[in-house]
Amino acid sequence: MFNKSSSQTHIVNALCVDALDLLQQLPLNLQKLAESLAQRNEFSLDEDWLTYINEMLSDMDRLGLVEPVIL
């Protein structure tokens, strides 16, 4: 994925692409994003999943692929 702001290319997995797709449609909080991704990808929605999605969001923010918004 190419980030125009930084002129850097990042290799992301399918789950990250799925998350970015969902976030482009509408802003979601961590819980809603984790629920949507779990449902779409047939994963269990548990504490480990929430932690993983939170870490993925933090990584995407650090790379400049997403930015936090107040909902």
| pLDDT per residue rounded down to tens, the chain (71 residues) | 877 788 888 889 999 999 999 999 999 999 999 999 999 999 999 999 999 999 999 999 998 899 888 87
CA 54 to centroid of chain Cα atoms? 8
Q: Please give the distance of CA 14 from its chain centroid, rounded to a whole number.
A: 10
What residue ranges do the domains of the chain occupy?
2-62
Which tokens go with 6?
A: 């930084």
- Label residue 23 exposed, middle or buried (CB < 10 Å: 0-12, 13-18, 19+): middle
What is the predicted pLDDT for the residue at 68? 85
Closest to 16 measured CA to CA, from 70, 67, 44, 52 = 52
Euclidean distance between CA atoms 32 and 53, whole angstroms: 11
